[in-house]
Chain A
Amino acid sequence: MLLRLLSWPYLRKHRLRWALTLAGIALGVAVLVAMRVANRTVLAGFQKTVDGIAGKTQLQVHAGDFGFPEEVLERVQAVPEVQAAAPVIEAALDTGLPGQGRLLVLAVDMTGDRSLRDYDLESGEDAVVDDPLVFLAQPDSLIITREFAARNHLGPGSRVPLGTTQGIKWFTVRGIMRSGGLSQAFGGNLAIMDIYAAQFVLGRGRRFDRVDVRLKPGVSLAEGQAALKRRLGPGFEVEPPAARGRHLEAVLRSFSITLNLTSLFAMLVGIFIIYNSFAIAVTQRRAEIGVLRALGATRGQIRAMFLTESAAAGALGSLIGAAAGLGMARLIARYIGRLSAEAYGVADSAEQVSPEPSLLALAVALGITISMIAAWIPAANAARVDPVQALQKGKYQVLSVGENRLRRRLAWAAAVFAAGCLIWGRSLWVFYTGYVLFVLAVLLLAPTLALWLARMLRPVLAWIRPVEGALAADSLIQAPRRTSATVSALMLSLSMVIGFGGVARSIYVSLTEWVDTALNPDLFVTPNAELANRTYVVSEEVGRAIEKLPGVREVQLVRSARIPYRGTPVLLVAVEARKLARTVRPRMLEGDARQMYARVAAGQGAIVSDSFAELRGLHVGDVVELPAPGGILRLPIAGITRDYSDQQGSVLIDRTLYRHWWQDDSVNVIRVYLREGASLEEVKRRILERCAGQRLFVLTNAEVRRYILRLTDQWFGMTYNQIAVAILVAVLGIVNTLTVSITDRRRELGVLQAVGGLRNQVRHTIWMEAVAIGVIGLVLGAAVGAASLYYSLEMTRLDVAGLRLDYVFPAPMVLWLAPLILGAALVAALWPGEAAVRGSLVEALEYE
């Protein structure tokens, strides 16, 4: 009843403010929903691909991306618990078809693979392979999915270009898979090839990527796993196919953490917007509350009325947010999918988001709860309204006596605990507790700090415009509660942007330094169009041939791929350490460079990246155990260097060791140093001529540099979205605050106009107040952001990537943000300014 009689008319009268409040809730919920749904969509897409490809496979035997010699297959097949074992090579190849990107090629031995996968071959009505013998006999055979065939107007006998180590080769469609099951993998961009043909066209030699296994009936997964591990030794991983999803999850973890934080900050900002709106509503409806109390309404009823309003706003805002979040999720999923595909070549094309009803319900519940929490203090204040004072015209009741002192004490206590966590904390849990306490401390201190800054700004504003400036500053000083929520929201948003932007900048600076020192060859020759892709390899003979070309001083052969290390994929880089020592001076974090290279070249040590060491708590002298097909390769750490080759960390060993333990002499990058005076273009031309007919890309140092920095920019693309969110929050908050400020100060502004104040003077007052809020938010945001950046860097080191980054405050970003935020504040003030000068003077002066 109270809601219908009182709340609804008030809401209708202040539609804009409520719209802004709803936007505050919607924003937080939208980011939460978008992030969760996007992550889930990418992982679900990937899992669908994995499941589709796995078929009836129960266990997969692999030894990282390097693969293993063919003989391993017979060892697997000889295990009594194994019913069927089939070799697999899996690679994402460039299709060369317009708009189709990569085709996930699953290379199998069709004579036996049907024990594991259903290719719909025995469908009497619709046999998918025209002639299985021709399929096996001709190495250009390809089976494609019906979806891919339809998209590209292909049929049996059609030709499809694919990138191979011998350059673009044309394959013949000799079968089309029916829809469903296997053909759903990778969004239908899947093709089946004969495994021995794949070895040939991908330059894999006599190696397989993995062996898929089905166990005999009655053998449990654990029993099968144990039997295979016993037979194969510790150099092999034996895992169910679902484990591949967990690896992607690990890879996407840093992205998830960033998005989780964004969501958390958006929620916090939402709390302040809601708090602000309700605090203002309570102030404005004092008389109304007084009447209700005088008529017998209890304090509980008043509190319940405001809390119900907040719950309703929370529900509506959450629903809008959930809907918007689903839209955002599609964009984010596509973004993550593209990044993962580019960097890891694994993700599915995430076109369809998969919303989870329980998540949407949770998001709505969270939105309502947060809204009610944010409205709790204003609701409690409303319940405390004294009806006698409320009904006296022109009389105001101070509702926050003693609150400031208590808040400041709590803030200092939180700050002290936060500092304690930082100094003495050893675990992640303590670190994050410290971070939360730090945020709490600055939030509690925000009104006090905002007041101090407003006082400091007063002379400046008064100097710019004596009357309007002084009025604007006084408005902020006299009503700190009104502006503190906006300032807090703005401060939080900006600190988040500065924190993430700072990490991006630190990484950028560190990465540039790494690129300068480690990636210094003049040319990079690789069979892959992108360096991060390691699908194609070439024989080391190619490198030897390049070394003999005129103009070439030195060639360094590199083979890199991911291997599982304690359940996480890490990058193993096999290099010619002796040669590398002459050309690369890495930034040492532990150990001596000269001794390090000497030990690695002698096969007596490994170099690990800072992230590898940090995430696993390793130091020089500790032993790393690398699983290889030949067993476990144990090497002491000879040095820890700054290296950004891989997010999960990298281990560098000598090529001789690699060849021995992995029984492989392939190469995926050839580093080429030119003789002095040799022409880059000329040598590039000679390499391409010498290796004509082979899939080889010759990249200049500048091109590689651009590629790496572009990849980094993409990873940090989310930061730009966060900046957009921060600006949106700033505009929302400032519009909200000013709208209320004007409503609150109608009398004051009316008096100003009545005593001869010009409309422009009123406008300027409002504008200056808005800009002042922007300045205060900006200053506090920058200060809190500086501390937040420290936490973000520590988080990157301890939890996300193990990277030790230099603290580089993103000053250019702050300088760039300042006019943006102040401009946004000014724009936000335009409408409230007009509302102030166009309001009824009589109504405004009614109480006088």
Chain B
Amino acid sequence: MNKSAVGLLAAVMLVAPEEARQIVEEAQRRSRAASERYEGILEVTDARGRVNAKRWVYHRLGSHGDSKAVIRFVAPPEVKGVALLIINHPDRASDQWMWTPATQRERRIALQDRSTRFFGTDFSFEDLEERDVNQYDYRMLGEEAVEGAPCWKIESRPKQTRASQYTRSVLWIRKENYTFARIENYVREELVRRAAYREVHNVQGIWTPRLIEMHDLRRNSRTLLKLEKLQYNLAMKDSDFTLQALRREF
């Protein structure tokens, strides 16, 4: 290996992380909104092909790393009223509480439990948290097309301050609109979950995938999340994102 090649490699190693981080920052900047609301349809297809469907309403106030969100299930009747409050923090993992109307009780979902599945779906509780760019280190892996769309392929690793079930993730970000096309999550060297982001639409100036498919490779089951009636920047109150608010219907 000659000197110029070594120099080029060193330059890529020094520059690439910064470039990767800038791309993720830009993706985050472009998706930023003061608030968000959508009605989600959740379809879990297990390894035997059985489909389980649920609907929820999602409200979010704030954005990446400094936001609050409430997910409230509306169907089927057995789960109607069950709600989840997520308080994201920029410097640490989020706080989460769940409300079950039948027992009139909220329960705190402890930090240790983020790796568990989100109520039988293929998302984990951690997957529902918003990623803040500052909680990860990035490395550019190259470029690769996903479903025909040219993408940057970037590796992210959680910083030591962030507790995560994943050792690393590989992100594909569309060059065209800086939206995520795919995320693959690894535990050590094993690929455990793959999220595909499809049906990208421009909603109030924000490019947003309306269909997210999460594939749990260990269970071989898939969860589809369709976002309907998506709206950004609605007027929302802080007081709607508290435990007290969780106990009452929206």
Interface, chain A (partner B; CB < 8 A): 74, 77, 83-85, 109, 111-112, 114-115, 121-122, 124-125, 127, 129, 131-134, 136-139, 194, 196-197, 199-200
Kindly count the residue-residue contacts between A and B in the assembled complex, taking CB atoms under 8 Å apart. Answer: 84
* Interface set, chain B 103-128, CB cutoff 8 A to A: 103, 105, 107-113, 115-117, 119-120, 125
Whether B218 pairs with A122 at a CB distance below 8 angstroms is yes
Query: Is B52 engaged at the interface, CB distance under 8 Å to the other chain?
Result: yes
Bound-state CA distance A131–B117 (Å) is 11
For residue B246, CB closer than 8 A to chain A, the reply is: no
Complex contact A115–B120 (CB within 8 A): no
Is residue B46 within 8 Å, beta carbon to beta carbon, of the partner chain? Answer: yes
A332 → B minimal CB distance (Å):
43
Given the known interface contacts A74-B108, A77-B111, the answer about A136 and B119 at a Cβ–Cβ threshold of 8 Å is: yes
Verify B221–A124 contact, CB threshold 8 A: yes
Q: Give CA–CA (A137, B105) in the complex, Å.
A: 10
Residue pair B218, A133 in contact (C-beta under 8 Å):
no
Q: Name the CB-closest residue of A to B115.
A: A115
Compute how far the CA of A301 lies from the CA of B52 in the bound complex, rounded to whole angstroms: 86
B54 within 8 A of A: yes
Check B107 against A196 for contact (C-beta < 8 Å): yes
Flag if A111 contacts B107 (CB, 8 Å): yes
CB of B73 within 8 Å of the partner chain: yes
B111 to chain A, nearest CB (A): 7
A136 near B100: Cβ-Cβ < 8 Å? yes
Confirm or deny: B176 has a beta carbon within 8 angstroms of a beta carbon on chain A. Answer: no
In angstroms, Cα B233 to Cα A480, docked, is: 110
List the 5 closest pairs (A to B, CB-CB), nearest first.
Answer: A112-B113, A133-B119, A132-B120, A84-B112, A124-B219
- Among A121, A127, A199, the most chain B Cβ lie within 10 Å of the Cβ of A127
Assuming the contacts A112-B116, A122-B219, A124-B221, asked whether A136 and B82 have C-beta atoms less than 8 A apart, the reply is yes
CB nearest neighbor in B for A109? B107
The minimal Cβ–Cβ distance linking B87 to chain A, given in whole angstroms, is 15
Check if B100 sits within 8 Å of A196, measured CB to CB.
yes
Contacts of B187 in A (CB 8 A): none
Within the assembled complex, what's the spacing in Å between the Cα atoms of A594 and B84? 57
Nearest opposing residue in chain B for A214, CB measure: B112
Contact with A along B77-115 (1 / 0, CB 8 A): 011011000000000000000101111010111111101
Distance in angstroms from A162 CB to nearest chain B CB is 16
Partner of A112, one of B46, B112, B218: B112
B47 interface residue, CB < 8 Å from A? yes
B48: chain A residues at CB < 8 Å are: 125
In the complex the two chains form, what is the Cα distance from A131 to B118 in whole Å? 11
Assess whether B120 is in contact with A131, with CB atoms less than 8 Å apart: yes
Interface of A is mostly: mixed
CB distance from B47 to the nearest CB of A (A): 5
Residue of A74, A83, A196 contacting most chain B CB atoms (<10 Å) = A196
User: Are A139 and B82 closer than 8 Å at their CB atoms?
Assistant: no
Q: Does A112 contact B78, Cβ atoms closer than 8 Å?
A: no
A115 touches B113 (CB 8 A): yes
Interface residue B202 (Cβ < 8 Å from any Cβ of A): no
Judging by beta carbons under 8 Å apart, are B73 and A124 in contact? no
List 4 other contacts, CB 8 Å, given A122-B219, A138-B102. A84-B112, A114-B113, A122-B218, A133-B119
B231 at the binding interface (Cβ < 8 Å)? no
Check B220 for interface membership: any CB of A closer than 8 A: yes
Q: A139, B103: Cβ atoms under 8 Å?
A: yes
- Cβ-neighbour of A114 out of B54, B103, B116, B220 (below 8 A): B116
Q: Say whether A133 contacts B102, CB under 8 Å.
A: no
Complex interface bits, B143-180 against A, C-beta within 8 A gives 1, otherwise 0: 00000000000000000000000000000000000000
Instruction: Give, as a whole number of angstroms, the nearest-CB distance from B222 to chain A.
Output: 12
Once the chains are docked, how many angstroms separate the CA of A798 from the CA of B100?
A: 54
Interface pair A137/B107, CB less than 8 Å apart: no
- Let me know if B102 and A85 touch, CB within 8 A: no
Minimum C-beta distance from A317 to chain B (A): 59
Task: Tell me, rounded to whole Å, the shortest Cβ–Cβ distance linking B70 to chain A.
Answer: 16
Residues in B with CB closer than 8 Å to A77 are 110-112
Task: Report chain B residues within 8 Å CB of A200.
Answer: 103
| Bound Cα distance A103, B111 (Å) | 32
Whether the Cβ atoms of B47 and A125 lie closer than 8 Å is yes
Q: Can you name 19 A-B residue pairings with CB atoms under 8 Å?
A: A74-B108, A77-B112, A85-B110, A112-B112, A115-B115, A121-B117, A122-B218, A124-B219, A124-B220, A131-B52, A131-B119, A133-B79, A133-B119, A137-B82, A137-B100, A194-B103, A196-B103, A197-B103, A199-B103
Q: How far is the CA of A74 from the CA of B120 in the complex (A)?
A: 25
Tell me the minimal C-beta distance from B221 to chain A in angstroms: 7
Q: Which of B43-59 contact A (CB under 8 A)?
A: 46-48, 52, 54
Q: Which of B48, B108, B220 has the most CB of A within 10 A?
A: B108
Instruction: With a 10 A CB-CB cut-off, give which of B109, B120, B220 has the most chain A CB atoms.
Output: B120
A214 to B110, CA, bound (A): 13
Closest to B54 in A: A133
List the A side residues contacting B101 at CB < 8 Å.
137
Residues on the A chain within 8 Å of B82, using CB = 133, 136-137
Residue in chain B with minimal CB distance to A133: B119
A-side contacts of B78, CB under 8 Å: 131, 134, 137-138
Chain B residue numbers with a CB within 8 Å of A131 are 52, 78-79, 119-120
Q: Which residues of chain A are near B54, meaning CB under 8 Å?
A: 133
Collect the chain B residues with CB atoms within 8 Å of residue A84's CB.
110, 112-113
Q: Are B113 and A111 in contact (CB under 8 A)?
A: yes
Also in contact, A111 and B111, with CB within 8 A (given A134-B79, A196-B103): no
C-alpha gap A839/B148 in the complex (Å): 112
